[in-house]
Amino acid sequence: MSTPFPFTAVVGQDDLRLALLLNAVSPAVGGVLVRGEKGTAKSTAVRALSALMPEVDVVSGCRFSCDPDSPDPGCPDGPHAPGAFASRPARMVELPVGASEDRLVGALDIERALAEGVKAFEPGLLADAHRGILYVDEVNLLHDHLVDLLLDAAAMGASYVEREGVSVRHAARFLLVGTMNPEEGELRPQLLDRFGLTVEVAASREPDQRVEVVRRRLAYDDDPAGFAARWADEEAAVRARIVAARELLPSVRLGDGALRQIAATCAAFEVDGMRADIVMARTATALAAWAGRTEVLAEDVRQAALLALPHRRRRNPFDAPGLDEDKLDETLEEFGGPDGDGHDGGGDDDPDPGPGGGPGGQPEPDDAPQGDGDAAARPEAGEGGEPQPSGGTGDQSPARAAEPFRTKVLSVPGLGEGAAGRRSRARTEHGRTIGARRPRGALTKLHLAATVQAAAPHQRARGRSGPGLVVRRDDLRQASREGREGNLVLFVVDASGSMAARQRMSAVKGAVLSLLLDAYQRRDKVGLVTFRGSAADVALPPTSSVDAAAVRLESLPTGGRTPLAAGLLRAHEVLRVERLRDPARRPLVVVVTDGRATGGPEPVALAGRAARLFAAEGTASVVVDCESGPVRLGLAGRLAGELGGTAVTLDELRADSIAGLVKDVQATRRAA
């Protein structure tokens, strides 16, 4: 809509609004990452902030928004003569999840650069966002190499574009805001650390506050301009306060006492590196300026820690973000402070807390253990002498997963074309050059040798008799590159009674948890299908959130017979649906079972037919053999043969003997 929702009309979300305002006061804080469930005003608050940003003066005609008082000496549109300038509102530029690298950083016209020797540069979104706001919705779904480029530009204040020896640099200083829903996957800890502040948002559980949210939203939808007019005075007051805080910021003093508290806090929470200390110092300084003070107090340090540290304490995707506030207060008190006070005095700093204050408490977990009985059912003899719970279900309380370990690489044979990742070989935009082809659409990666080779035979016809080379568009060749892709790793886990022995299931969960951690590091999507009793369930549809899979795994109930065929058929259906949604992403099916099939009529024959569906479609598969004991039936190996894959024991998942897995899979297929 042309009239944004007023920033001061956002109900609650105090931490979110404060973090955005601090970055508006001091962009050096490093941006904000907003994490939260859908429908919590994340995007609304970010878009509303752009209307509060003061207008900027720019050099007339400059595509890179140079400041007329201090123009960038290296501006591609420069040098700028003093004089003409114009004022315009600060921009808010949105980066789509599917944006290309050229759209983000800009594009060079390689043809003109080679043929005419000129730097014809088309600015990208980083140039558009200079001296404004760059907003990335669903930043966790953005390709890693784009996130790296984005955060590098934010950290350096400049963007560099280099193609085949042609280089362009331009200023790119902006307020970076990313939003994400953790259910759809996490950012890597290295990327999380590059965001200055993080805020967790959740919908209020207070009925009065929810009523006020709905009331204001309906009023805005009915008459956007009229609603905005009613909040104009509050908006003007906050805009003036931002300007005043910016002017006061250089005068704010960060004393040795506050610096000592910052360093002690980062050390106490074992934060990696020094970026957290620097961000906390900048945030505390901005907090003091926002409050109209020229001295940083202990309350500023405390609030800065709550905004700058939670996301930096994550060591792996299964760690929940957060900060122990009791420990924080003890640290601040132990190391004293400029005013000898460790309390949070930021209650008066928020421009408009709204009715009911901020969101109450933390979001409730999405999932809880289901169907977990406390008592084990009376066992009876089952197939292979394994105890089987009576009554078909016989749930047992979930076993805790064993400690995860580093697994060997499981990959999909062949050469894919899926999303960039770190698992299987694929044709990608980044990686080693393996050949050249004519470009389809815009040229992104020039293969110089192939281009010269294509142009050379035509030089006489083009009038070139001396040194040099005339290059035309038809001569250009795109480099074909090979890198790695992320796959869909679908876990099919046997949770039946034959797997339910406490120590055994603990080892199985530890192995799956280890594979999940590996999938996170390799940027895969994951899914989880479980089977027990008489049916199979999709415990987790394919998602990028491996921590959600870990939660489902931890609460997995066990017991009952082994409907292996039902589990395989359900997995086959999941892959069919996912293939329609994301046809380029190749699947890897990991079946975790001892190979027994006891559920339903003719369970063994039915399981064999289900397995052969995967083999017929060429789906890569691995069976993790969980059979234990001195006497083994080898059923998992037989299942792997029918799947067209290979089997590996829990112990071999750690060992070098699995290194030849891909060759084994290919050999099996050739033999078939």
Q: What is the DSSP code string of 11-36?
A: -S-HHHHHHHHHHHH-GGG--EEEEE
pTM over 0.85: no
Collapsed DSSP state (helix, strand, coil) of residue 405: coil
Q: What is the pLDDT of residue 166?
A: 66
Per-residue pLDDT, 500: 62
Q: Return the SS3 of 331.
A: helix
H helix intervals, 618-660: 635-643
Domain boundaries, the chain: 7-54+90-210+219-254, 379-412+487-671, 424-484
Topology of domain 7-54+90-210+219-254, per CATH?
A: Rossmann fold (3.40.50)
Phi-psi region of 157 (alpha: psi -120 to 50; beta: other; left: phi over 0): left
Burial of 516 (C-beta count, 10 Å sphere; 0-12/13-18/19+): buried
With beta carbons less than 8 A apart as the criterion, state whether 93 and 133 touch: yes
Q: What confidence tens digit (pLDDT) does each residue in 537-550 have?
A: 998 899 888 878 88
Burial 298-326 (b: 16+ CB within 10 A, else e): bbbbbbbbbbbbbbbbbeebbeebebeee
Helix, strand, or coil (residue 664): helix
CA distance 300 to 265: 13
| Per CATH, domain 379-412+487-671 is 3.40.50.2300 | no
Establish how many alpha carbons lie within 13 A of residue 567's alpha carbon, considering only the half-sphere containing its beta carbon.
Answer: 34
- pLDDT digit string, tens, across residues 120-153: 788 899 999 998 889 988 888 787 778 888 888 8
What's the pLDDT score for residue 37?
77
How far apart CA 371 and CA 367 sit, in angstroms, is 12
Low-confidence spans in the chain with pLDDT less than 70: 1, 110-119, 163-166, 190, 314-321, 337-397, 500-503, 629, 631, 655-672
Indicate the SS3 state at residue 592: strand
Q: Does this chain's domain 7-54+90-210+219-254 share its CATH topology with 379-412+487-671?
A: yes
pLDDT score at 80: 86
Q: State yes or no: is 275 an active-site residue.
A: yes
- Please state, as a whole number, how many other Cβ atoms lie within 10 Å of the Cβ of residue 445: 18
For 101-140, b where at least 16 C-beta lie within 10 A, e where not — what string? Answer: bbbbbbbbbbbebbbeeeeebebbbbbbbbbbbbbbbebb
Label the pairing between strands 420-428 and 535-543.
unpaired
Q: From the candidates 112, 188, 260, 275, give the one annotated as an active-site residue.
A: 275
pLDDT in tens, 321-374: 677 888 999 999 888 744 444 444 444 444 443 433 333 333 333 333 333 333
